[in-house]
Amino acid sequence: MKNSIKLLLALLFLAAGCGKSEVDLLFDKTPEQRMSEQQQEIKDQLVGAQFGWRVFNETLSRGNYGYYMSFDDKDRVKMLADINNESSTELQESSYRLRLINGPVLAFETYNYIHLLNDPNPAVIGGVRGDGLKSDIEFDFQRATEDSIFFKGRKYAGQMVLVRATQAEQESFLNSGYAEAIAETKSFFIENPISYFEIGGVKYQIFFNGAGKKVDVASYVNGQAIISPAASFSFLLDGIEIPTGMQAGSTLLRYLMRESDKFYAKSEVGDKFEILVSDEAIVPLNKLVGIKYSLRSPYLKYYPGTSEAGLSILKRYHEGLGNRATGYTFNSGYIDLKWDLVNQRITVSGFSSQNGGASGWTTTAVYNYTFDEQTGQYKLTRRSAASGGYTAVILDKLDEFLLNSAFTIEYFFDSGNVYGKMKGVDKPDVEMTFQLL
């Protein structure tokens, strides 16, 4: 027994005497050495792309954004971006660094177009106060292939993917080709607001939101509307890229691309479907409220297509929030109209806030409705009067209109964006344009 105990103690002391470096020799190099080598390999790959990189960067707030980037060995990066006209034409230079934080991290260190998406001031790019568009400036390395490098944001976990650019792409990026391509893509959907493609005899209407960097499709089959989730996109030199794909039936689409004078929807396996134009909606808006859309009037935003009488109704609410018409002063709020198709009800919600919308109070009014398939007209009766919150008194003009006039809803297209317009039947002077949510 004593000999066994002595042997055990000797083995323990021997194990304790083995240094960290001796154990790591099983892998030839220490973890620090391996990470340092990986860091250098990524740096070499970034710098070694002769014609730079095509990049897409995911935000959690408003779509994806496309970039052209070129890195040098002195920790400088030049870039263009599809954020606005200036960013797509003016090459910007700033510093970057590859650091080691539990692995290689690509950090953009001085203010550039990456930081613009992250700017905490809402006045800069319309992001959330303190969070911007919820986009990162530091990215953890994920993996690399021969022509691509994949990163993931450290805070918001958005994807950033770099793909080697060709010489022709670089020349186009550096000679205003990006701005021209973006303008051409936007122009197509502005000039052709009701566009669609056909797969297997089914027509898919395209809903292109240039401002929100979102796109989706809807179809109408056997009297039923079928929708796809909205997908984020970034601009390319020949259209848009949808990294996560957009579902159209059983087909997953990855691109809307221009070839010569035509646009095509292109699948992940390379199948192409020509994008055509229609004078009438493939799927009317009254078939999509309640399953795809609700209507919103955001704080102090009045969209094109709103008539003077409609503006009076909306201003009664929005200006009433700030002028103490409710008895209190608010600095944010909105009106929502949501359809309950099963019970044939419409709920109007008036939200008010004193902290810029971070929290607040909601007043709700519920209406029963009937819908005439032939005329597309809604007629409402009261189910429950406005209650809760503080805004019943400034919802009065909207309440009066809804109870005293039938109305229709239809798409309203403006500058490449799609809205929902409510038009009075008994009160034809009332037209109100809403954001589609």
CA dihedral 181, 183, 187, 188 (to 10 degrees): 10
Continuous H helices in 150-224: 167-174, 177-191
Query: Considering 99, 132, 164, which residue would you say is the last residue of a domain?
Result: 164
Return the pLDDT at 7. Answer: 46
SS3 state of residue 136: coil
pLDDT (tens digit, 9 = 90+) per residue, 246-304?
A: 999 999 999 999 998 899 999 989 999 999 999 999 999 999 999 999 999 999 999 99
Both 322 and 230 in one domain: the answer is: no
Return the pLDDT at 152. Answer: 96
The angle at the Cα of 218, spanning 212 to 224, to the nearest 5 degrees, equals 145
Query: Considering 143, 164, 185, which residue would you say is the last residue of a domain?
Result: 164
Both 114 and 87 in one domain: the answer is: yes
CATH number of the domain encompassing residue 73: 2.40.128.640
Return the pLDDT at 418. Answer: 86
Of residues 21 and 273, more confidence is placed in: 273
Task: State phi, psi for 43 to the nearest 5 degrees.
Answer: -60, -45
Both 229 and 307 in one domain: the answer is: no
Residue 8 has which token pair?
Answer: 């055990």
Task: With respect to residue 100, please indicate whether it lies within any of the assigned structural domains.
Answer: yes
Strand arrangement of the beta sheet that strand 272-274 belongs to: 234-236, 239-248, 251-259, 262-267, 272-274
Both 318 and 413 in one domain: the answer is: yes
Both 327 and 432 in one domain: the answer is: yes
Helix (H) or strand (E) holding 125: helix 122-125
Task: With respect to residue 120, please indicate whether it lies within any of the assigned structural domains.
Answer: yes
C-alpha separations of 46 from 74, 119, 146, 155, 247 in Å: 12, 25, 11, 22, 33
Residue 242 pLDDT greater than 90, yes or no: yes
CATH number of the domain encompassing residue 182: 2.40.128.50
Task: With respect to residue 10, please indicate whether it lies within any of the assigned structural domains.
Answer: no
Both 206 and 276 in one domain: the answer is: yes
pTM equals 0.80
Task: With respect to residue 26, please indicate whether it lies within any of the assigned structural domains.
Answer: no
Parent domain of 133: 31-164
Round to whole Å and give the CA distance between 367 and 410. 20
Closest CA to 179 of 76, 40, 295, 80: 80
Round to whole Å and give the CA distance between 182 and 67. 12
Return the pLDDT at 24. Answer: 46
Burial 280-306 (b: 16+ CB within 10 A, else e): ebbbbbbbbbbebbbbbbbbeeebebb
Under the banding of pLDDT at 50, 70 and 90, the label for residue 27 is: low
Residue 168 pLDDT greater than 60, yes or no: yes
Both 55 and 149 in one domain: the answer is: yes
Round to whole Å and give the CA distance between 162 and 95. 17
Both 309 and 279 in one domain: the answer is: no
Percent of the chain with pLDDT over 90: 79
Sequence letter at residue 101? I
Strands (E), 260-398: 262-267, 272-274, 276-277, 295-298, 332-340, 345-353, 361-372, 377-387
Round to whole Å and give the CA distance between 228 and 226. 7
Both 104 and 236 in one domain: the answer is: no
Round to whole Å and give the CA distance between 159 and 57. 6
Both 268 and 139 in one domain: the answer is: no
Residue 126 has which token pair?
Answer: 């319309």
Number of domains in the chain: 3
Task: With respect to residue 8, please indicate whether it lies within any of the assigned structural domains.
Answer: no
pLDDT (tens digit, 9 = 90+) per residue, 406-422?
A: 999 999 988 878 899 99
Strands (E), 109-238: 138-144, 148-153, 159-164, 195-199, 202-209, 214-221, 224-227, 231-232, 234-236
Both 306 and 432 in one domain: the answer is: yes
Round to whole Å and give the CA distance between 322 and 315. 11
Both 214 and 270 in one domain: the answer is: yes
Query: Considering 164, 187, 210, which residue would you say is the last residue of a domain?
Result: 164
Task: With respect to residue 171, please indicate whether it lies within any of the assigned structural domains.
Answer: no
Task: With respect to residue 101, please indicate whether it lies within any of the assigned structural domains.
Answer: yes
Residue 22 pLDDT greater than 60, yes or no: no
Under the banding of pLDDT at 50, 70 and 90, the label for residue 231 is: very high
